[in-house]
Amino acid sequence: MHIHAYLVGMGHSHGHAHGPAAGPVTTGRLRRMAIGMAIIGGFFVVELIAGIVVDSLALIADAGHMLTDVIAMGMGLGALLLARHGGTDGGKTFGWHRAEVFTAVANAVLLLGVATYIVVEAIARIGTDPQVPGLTLIVVASLGLLANIAVMLLLRGDAHGSIAVRGAYMEVVADSVSSVGVLVAGVIAMTTGWGYADIVVAVLIAVWVVPRAVRLALDALRILAQRAPAHVDVEVVRAELAALPQVHDVHDLHVWTLTTGMDVATVHLGSDHPNDDVLAAARSVLDAHGLSHATVQVESVGAHQRCQRELTW
CA distance 261 to 20: 5
At 69, which amino acid appears?
Answer: D
Q: Which of the four CATH numbers 3.20.20.70, 3.30.460.80, 1.20.1510.10, 1.10.10.60 does domain 27-224 have?
A: 1.20.1510.10
Distances in whole angstroms, Cα of residue 270 to Cα of each of 242, 249, 266:
9, 5, 14
Within 10 A of 131 (CB to CB), how many other CB atoms are there? 11
- The residue among 286 and 133 whose pLDDT is bigger is 286
pLDDT at 49: 92
CA distance 137 to 40: 18
pLDDT at 1: 33
pLDDT digits (tens, 9 = 90+) for 161-173: 676 677 778 778 8
Residue 81: name the closest of 6, 26, 122, 119 by CA: 26
pLDDT at 220: 83
What are the sequence ranges of the domains in the chain? 27-224, 234-310
Burial of 158 from C-beta contacts in 10 A (0-12 / 13-18 / 19+): buried
Is the predicted pLDDT of residue 160 greater than 80, yes or no? no
DSSP state of 256: E
pLDDT at 303: 57
Residues 122 and 25 sit within 8 Å (Cβ to Cβ) = no
Residues 185 and 137 sit within 8 Å (Cβ to Cβ) = yes
- The residue among 174 and 53 whose pLDDT is bigger is 53
Residues constituting the chain: 313
pLDDT at 228: 87
Burial of 53 from C-beta contacts in 10 A (0-12 / 13-18 / 19+): exposed
- Asked if 27-224 and 234-310 have one fold, the answer is no
At 200, which amino acid appears?
Answer: V
Strand pairing partners for 297?
A: 268
Per-residue pLDDT band for 306 (boundaries 50, 70, 90) equals low
pLDDT at 15: 38
Is the predicted pLDDT of residue 110 greater than 70, yes or no? yes
Within 10 A of 129 (CB to CB), how many other CB atoms are there? 7
Is the predicted pLDDT of residue 310 greater than 70, yes or no? no
Is the predicted pLDDT of residue 76 greater than 80, yes or no? no
Strand pairing partners for 264?
A: 256, 293
Residues 153 and 195 sit within 8 Å (Cβ to Cβ) = no
Is the predicted pLDDT of residue 308 greater than 80, yes or no? no
DSSP state of 295: E
Q: Which fold has domain 234-310?
A: Alpha-Beta Plaits (3.30.70)
pLDDT digits (tens, 9 = 90+) for 23-66: 455 677 788 888 989 999 999 999 899 989 888 888 888 887 78
pLDDT digits (tens, 9 = 90+) for 3-24: 344 444 333 333 333 443 444 5
Average pLDDT over residues 108-126: 83
pLDDT digits (tens, 9 = 90+) for 202-252: 888 788 778 878 887 888 888 888 888 888 999 999 999 999 999 988 988
At 165, which amino acid appears?
Answer: V
pLDDT at 311: 54
- Percentage of residues of the chain with pLDDT beyond 90: 16
- In the chain, the DSSP E strands lie at 249-259, 262-270, 293-299
- 313's CB contacts (< 8 A; 6+ apart) are none
Q: 270 — phi, psi (to 5°)?
A: -85, 130
